[in-house]
Amino acid sequence: MVEIVKQTAVETELGGVAASAQVVSPDLVEKAVSLKVVPFKPKLPPGMSVRACTAILLLIDGSVEIERLSFGVTLDSDLEGSRATGERLDAQEWSDGANLVMIGAEDGEALDLRLPNSGFDRVPGVIYTADAMTLELSGLPKLDNPSFHFVIAEKEDRDPVDASAWFAVDQDHRFLLGQ
């Protein structure tokens, strides 16, 4: 088995977001695994906006069988996050009353639709703690160029019913790969 670990970070108004990925597979080489940080303009409903939006993409090149995968993000802040999940979305938000950071990822259902017959419909998706979200997967079948993502959205936190950040982190994976 080969274990590859990658790390990166993104700064936000509420603190740094550290991202890490650990991939264990018999089929991997170091250069086949990468974490890519991609600032982008999200697709949002009319009238909605966010200050910044960044995708963190875990990209694995080649046809690989994944024994174990851990991909997570941690916000370095004293603030405690609250879940903001939705259909095919696992998300969590943090606010200091003036600024809001929301982080989202595909849930198990979304992963199963994108990568059918891979067993994602039987996994809990993202594991939450007060400061982090982690996607933990194991025993995956051979997949061609598998990839996963977290999206970080930032906005002013003036209106508690404004769902702009929620829509910003709910982006199609194919759209993110094209950024």
SS3 of the chain: the string is CEEEEEEEEEEECCEEEEEEEEEEECCCCHHHEEEEEEECCCCCCCCCCCCEEEEEEEEECCEEECCEEEEEEEECCCCCCEECCECCEEEEEEECCCEEEEEEEECHHHHHHHCCCCCHHHCCCEEECCCEEEEEEECCCEEECCEEEEEEEEEECCCCCCCHHHHHHCCCHHHHHCC
Domain tally for the chain? 1
Domain of 113, in residue numbers: 2-177
Give the pLDDT confidence score for residue 160 in this predicted structure.
Answer: 67
165-179 burial, b at 16+ Cβ within 10 Å, e below that, comes to: bbbbbbbebeebeee
pTM attached to this predicted model: 0.95
Residue type, 94: W
Distant-in-sequence, close-in-space partners of 129: CB < 8 Å, separation ≥ 6: none
**pLDDT < 70 positions in the chain:** 160-161
- Say if residues 107 and 85 touch (Cβ distance below 8 Å): yes
